[in-house]
Structure 1
Amino acid sequence: MEIWKHVQLKQLTHESNIETAYKLAQSFFYSLGYEYCGFSITSPPTGQYFDRVNLNNYPHDWNKQYEQNDYKSIDPLVAHCQRSMLPIVWDRETFAQVPELWQALMDQGLQYGWSQPVHDLDNHVTGMLSMARSTGRISAYELYDDLGYALIISQKLHALALQARRSEQPHGIDHGELSPRETEILKWSSHGKTASDIATILNLSERTVNFHVSRAIKKLGVTNKISAVVMAARGRLI
């Protein structure tokens, strides 16, 4: 590995602030020949903190257009990264089902690029690191050569996003948002009790227990009961 790469990667991997780490990543990939670099959390689809994790230096008009047209909902890159751990190259074939999005990318000078998914199975959170440029097709050799760097950097940015979310949670999620009953049910769930068990213990119907679990899941911005229990425990709510 060239010395400058080693130095920059070492600096990035020791960084504790996600915005600073992203700037280092942007500089690193620029040195590799990419004008643009972006990192975002692609799932869960909602959540006050994760909605803000969208770091990139794409043209302002593109970011505005992407948001106004809700391109995320039809973006094949996002769909791929949510279900796969393999990189994906930006090309006409990838965008075959949404040619208008491919045309919009080309119009903004974002024709040549690729994206690397990053998955956190414990937290059910998926991220995406992308590199792009206005000229020069991405060859298979270049992708293979840069893949290792993308894996390291995407994992680092993803970890910092989760770390930042955890540090914000005591302020963003508190007992005032989870009702006493929701907290109580999650606490029993953390002890391995099923909905049927909890219904018996609290003298409720199983349907009522599941209703409160569903509300807690929605409030915590997760996708299932296990994740809700983990999130509540990490936020010191139970």
Structure 2
Amino acid sequence: METWKESQLKQLTFAKGIDSAYPILLRFAENLGFNFCAISVTSPGQVTQLNALQINNYPQDWNQKYEKDNFNQIDPVIAHCNHSMIPIVWNEKAFSNAPQLWQGLKQQGLQHGWSQSFHHEESGLCCILSLARRHCPISPLELYEHFGYIFYAASHLSELFARTLPKQPAKPRQPKLSSRELEIMQLSAGGKTAYEISKILSLSERTVNYHVQNVIEKLNVCNKISAVIAAARAGII
């Protein structure tokens, strides 16, 4: 790795927030031969949508037009990155269903670009990092050489943004039932009585009731029927 790459990636690693990380990333992009660099962080698929983060050095009139015309609703780059972490190169074919967006990119000198996403599993965030330039298409070799750096940058930026979010309450741990308890709950869910279960599993009725009582305590319910319902809702049976 060239010295400048190592130095700038190290600076990016030690950045404490996206505001301080972006100028480092922009210099890195310029050294790779790109005029423009953009970061967006959204929460696709989440019930509660956070305010999307958008930072870029695109022409201001393009940003205004993009927002005014709601291009985010038809942008194939966003649609791709929300579902895949494979890089996408901007070209006419990729924008075939959004020709007005493609024409706008070309007019602004933004048509030679590519985007890389990172999906932050813990927070549900999707970070999209895009690089673009006015001259010459991006070759497969160039994409291959830069992919690792940009993927790392996208993952690091998503982590930085995730740290700014309110902490989510920890999910309650799901009770763990033994294999015998699972068998008894499954048979109980099928309407079998303790006596019938004892015959099926070659156990005493007392042993069956003992396991049922253990499950009732583990699931913090009051009787066998409630235990069956609770186990089913939790996906245990």
TM above 0.5, yes or no, is yes
Q: Following TM superposition, by how much is the alpha carbon of 1:48 offset from its aligned partner in structure 2, in angstroms?
A: 7.1
Q: Following the alignment from structure 1 to structure 2, what is the Cα–Cα distance between the partners of residues 149 and 191?
A: 37
Q: Tell me if structure 2 keeps the 8 A contact 1:41–1:54.
A: yes
Q: Following the alignment from structure 1 to structure 2, what is the Cα–Cα distance between the partners of residues 29 and 132?
A: 9
Match in the other structure for 2:235: none
Q: Following the alignment from structure 2 to structure 1, what is the Cα–Cα distance between the partners of residues 164 and 107?
A: 34
Q: Following TM superposition, by how much is the alpha carbon of 1:121 offset from its aligned partner in structure 2, in angstroms?
A: 1.9
Q: Following the alignment from structure 1 to structure 2, what is the Cα–Cα distance between the partners of residues 140 and 71?
A: 27
| The structure with more radius of gyration | 2
Match in the other structure for 2:172: 190
For residues 168-187 of structure 1, the aligned pairs below 5 Å read 169=166
Q: Tell me if structure 2 keeps the 8 A contact 1:41–1:127.
A: yes
**CA RMSD, 1 decimal:** 2.8
* TM-superposition CA deviations, 1:211-232 (whole Å, max 9, x none): xxxxxxxxxxxxxxxxxxxxxx
* TM-superposition CA deviations, 1:82-128 (whole Å, max 9, x none): 11110000000000111111001111110100000101122222110
Q: Following TM superposition, by how much is the alpha carbon of 1:5 offset from its aligned partner in structure 2, in angstroms?
A: 1.0
Q: Following the alignment from structure 2 to structure 1, what is the Cα–Cα distance between the partners of residues 131 and 99?
A: 20
Q: Tell me if structure 2 keeps the 8 A contact 1:92–1:102.
A: yes
**Higher helix content, 1 or 2:** 1
Q: Following the alignment from structure 1 to structure 2, what is the Cα–Cα distance between the partners of residues 71 and 15?
A: 31
Match in the other structure for 1:95: 95
**Distance verdict in 2 for CA 1:45–1:22, change over 3 Å:** farther
Q: Following the alignment from structure 1 to structure 2, what is the Cα–Cα distance between the partners of residues 40 and 143?
A: 20
Match in the other structure for 1:114: 114
Q: Following the alignment from structure 1 to structure 2, what is the Cα–Cα distance between the partners of residues 72 and 49?
A: 16
For residues 104-143 of structure 1, the aligned pairs below 5 Å read 104-143=104-143
What SS is found at the alignment partner of 2:85?
coil
For 1:94, the aligned partner's letter is A
* Residue 18 of structure 2 corresponds to residue 36 of structure 1: no
What SS is found at the alignment partner of 1:164?
coil
TM-score (norm 2): 0.69
Q: Following TM superposition, by how much is the alpha carbon of 1:152 offset from its aligned partner in structure 2, in angstroms?
A: 1.3
Q: Following the alignment from structure 2 to structure 1, what is the Cα–Cα distance between the partners of residues 64 and 174?
A: 46
Q: Following TM superposition, by how much is the alpha carbon of 1:190 offset from its aligned partner in structure 2, in angstroms?
A: 2.4
Q: Following the alignment from structure 2 to structure 1, what is the Cα–Cα distance between the partners of residues 105 and 172?
A: 46
Match in the other structure for 1:13: 13
* TM-superposition CA deviations, 1:22-42 (whole Å, max 9, x none): 110011111110000001013
Q: Tell me if structure 2 keeps the 8 A contact 1:112–1:133.
A: yes
For 1:5, the aligned partner's letter is K
Q: Following TM superposition, by how much is the alpha carbon of 1:78 offset from its aligned partner in structure 2, in angstroms?
A: 0.3
In structure 2, the gaps of 5 or more residues are 176-215, 223-237
Q: Following the alignment from structure 1 to structure 2, what is the Cα–Cα distance between the partners of residues 43 and 74?
A: 17
What SS is found at the alignment partner of 2:118?
strand
For 1:22, the aligned partner's letter is Y
Number of equivalences = 182
* TM-superposition CA deviations, 1:161-205 (whole Å, max 9, x none): 11122xxx37xx9xxxxxxxxxxxx88x72549xxx99x89xxxx
Q: Following the alignment from structure 1 to structure 2, what is the Cα–Cα distance between the partners of residues 6 and 43?
A: 31
Identity across the alignment (%): 40
TM-score (norm 1): 0.69
Q: Tell me if structure 1 keeps the 8 A contact 2:44–2:82.
A: no
Match in the other structure for 2:62: 62
Q: Following TM superposition, by how much is the alpha carbon of 1:45 offset from its aligned partner in structure 2, in angstroms?
A: 6.9
What SS is found at the alignment partner of 1:131?
strand
Q: Tell me if structure 2 keeps the 8 A contact 1:42–1:78.
A: no
